Chain A
Amino acid sequence: MRSATDSPGAGGRGTPRPGRRFLAVLGVLITLVLGGAPPASAHPISTSAVLLDLGADEVTAKIELPLDELGSAFGRTYTPSNVLDPATITGLRSYVRAHMSATDPGDRTWVTTVTGGMVENIDGIDHLVLDATLTPSTGTVGDFTLDYDAVIDRLASHRVFVSARWGHSGDYTTLVMLSWQRQSVPVVSAAAPASTDGFLSAVQLGVEHISGGSDHLLFLIMLLLPAPLLAKRHRWVPRTDPRRAGWRVVHVVTAFAIGHSITLALGALGLVHLPTRLVESGIALSVLVSAIHAIRPLVRRGEVLIAGTFGLLHGLAFAALLGELDLSRANLVVTLLGFNAGIELTQLLVVALVMPSLIMLSRTVIYPYWRIGVAALGALLAAAWLAERTGITSTNPVEPVSDVLVDHPLVLAAGFAALALTAVTTQRIRASARPSG
């Protein structure tokens, strides 16, 4: 209808997904022109559809031309059979080819080819369906502007819905309704809109991975345990200047970040690859070494050294995980940065949760016992992991213990804080109760 009783039929023209750039702008217009869902009695308005499939090296398109409007444009009557007459279809193919083009930001016009030709009944209207291919001269599909005015140039009232999808599957997203008012639309290739999402999902993956990996967390905690202390003749003794404990934490966290960032980048780029079992065993060993160091210092400033060197192994484990993200060269850097940001954020959160309690507790007499107890537990867990990962044992009997660490981090941190507070308070009460002088 084009009439009164016709209705809008935008519904059949691809399912819009919210969030695409152009949808917001055009949704209102399309809604106004076409209204909501057509009732059963209404007939769809005859509109063309251009359905773009954005590939890596070319864009293919399905072009649906309603026969009634096509006939009005050319001043003749097309039927499902006469429109497929060889001379007619050849003419219509070259007509569409002359009215469809893609131009990239470098002003290079792509090559348009139009093939095919069959009649399909869509929403009760016979359509001629053609296939088009838009090929960039650069060989890579990037952002481009689609110019399209087939039918519109001869039938000024005609409307064309342009939709696109990425990766040849899923629903098409409506980009624009072309009409006498507008015959071109910018199309964004897949990589660009993914970058923001890619960064955030990489951050999220980083957070999830380190907070869900009890080995990484335990490694960090083992390294933090001796931070308030000073290694002296292979023994841990309290620091005289507690402010230096803070600096030691910064050194540990930085060393770990540098270590795992190096191998994460190398691993993600495919430059370094170690067998998973070796990496996982090495991580278990790193926890064991750091736990032993927390009990009795192995070398002076050992925690920084351990954080940096074993951090290299942890980075390789992170790199293996990046395979879960769809990595292309275009967004590799973004993903790496996001993933690493997620890891560092979580590390800092752990430090913020644990360190104040640790420093408080280190000023009490119970700290050596507590430190050794926690480190021993860490060493036990690490030994069990090591045995399992190297294949010495087939199961891990202490797995449930390490799961608690991951499942209830806030409860553990709160419990630890309560313990530290109680210990400090008790010590002060005792000190004040002692006769002075």
Chain B
Amino acid sequence: MRSLRREPALLVGLLAVAGLVLAFIVYPQVQVVLTPGGGGYVDFFEHGNWQRPLQNSLILTALSTTTAVALGFVYAYAMVYSDMPWKPFFRLVGILPLLSPPFVVAAAYILLFGPRGIVTYGVFGQSPNILGLYGIWGVQTIAFFPFAYQLIADVLSRSDARMEQAARNLGAGAWDVFRSVTLPLTRPGLGAAILTTAIYVLEDFGNPALIGGVFTVLPTQAYGLISGFGDISGASAVSSILLALALGLYVAKIRLDGGRSYVTVSGRASSMPRPPVPRLVTIFSFVACLSLAGLIFLVYGTLIASAVTAHFPTNLTPTSEYFEYLGAHSLSLQNTLVYGLSAASVSALLAVFAGFLVQRGSWRGRRALDFLLIMPAAIPGLFFGLGYVVSFNKPWLDWLDRGVLIIIALTFWNIPVGYQATVAGLRQIDRSIDEAATSLGASSLRGFRDVIVPMLGGSLRVGFVTTFVRAVTTLSLLIFLFTPQTTVATITIFQLVNDFNWGGAAAFTVIDVTMAIIVLVTLAFIGGRRGLALGAARA
């Protein structure tokens, strides 16, 4: 990237991104952080209840991040390296856990694995106490491995087969190649995966609220203060602790991966296949992925069963009554689709452009923008939404349709994963490639558009899919933002759950998730066709 002074268009782009980040990430959060006031913080830290939740949050983050990233790595490796069959199916399974609206999926786990669970008690006659640390740990591992899987797979698929072939030719065995070539080259992806997963685990509210029992973590404590006691001041203070922890994780990550180079995509074309992985690894990959798929399908199967029977599992009379809510609430499904698609498109493009500016630029303040683009992951949705209401619910903004505000909120709240994927991807692509374009006279922006973007198709997809899926399943972000006209599917699900209409909630979830899957599969199909053209540019 040339200096900003020589490329005014680039400078304008940078200022635009910085302006958006300031307006829609920094400003609203500053409002939340300032809510308690000095006295409020002193009072909260002296008398409030935060030590235990803080300790619990740290323990849980360490445990769940480790297992979720490990699972994500195995899954990504199996998908990219092994020759196992059914890969398109497993690609879908790999994002299914992201499609779990709060309340409903956690409840399905209890139905299956609770003290009188269908599997635990019904099949094995055991009464485990899954509510608590171990329960959340297990559920979060499944819920968050898709983030790690997506980020690691994106990096793995761009790694250069020639290095591995070279290692093999020099006599290294399969394990040596993995340990000394493959694993080190995934470090940008692994770093991004650990940071992202850890931050999302830290921020997770839905699973600890329903599986956690008395094991209180910071987000459930913050929500409890608002929901049970209307204590905004205390809740905002808890939210600030979360931000501080996210900053700590971020600094740790920067320290860890230092200034090493992970370039594997250079200007020289390569069409060399990867060295084959041992057959045993492929078999193991297949079995591991299949078991995980089985577990995930058991959960969704429970939801489907709940949706089509009178009172699952005590009364199994088939019924279609729960699908009758669809008619009355079609507006919320439609809104969810429109907001999700709009936010996902904007968020993915913005993430790639911002990633390009930060990773390729050499201007001052890059680190700050880098952190600010990751920070939203650490903000519980409730507080992200709260910041928006406090900041943007002003008389002079009343003409603004709340639908637009919801799309903006979804865009910026979900930007971290796509952004992280882009930065990790760019670290693998040799600067000489975009420099070739600029020395031939193209502007940096043109080089970005015609050279970088085509090579970052994977990162763009990661950003789009993550944002869309989270937009379809988030409740807390929208609690303060929705209006009667801009209500969404998760609000409907929440209302049904609180009305003790478990069947209706399950039916609505099934439709919501099915709708999301249809959209993703359709887009993958369209993208797959064009992918042929994009693929040629890839090394």
Please determine whether chains A and B interact with each other in the same assembly. Answer: no
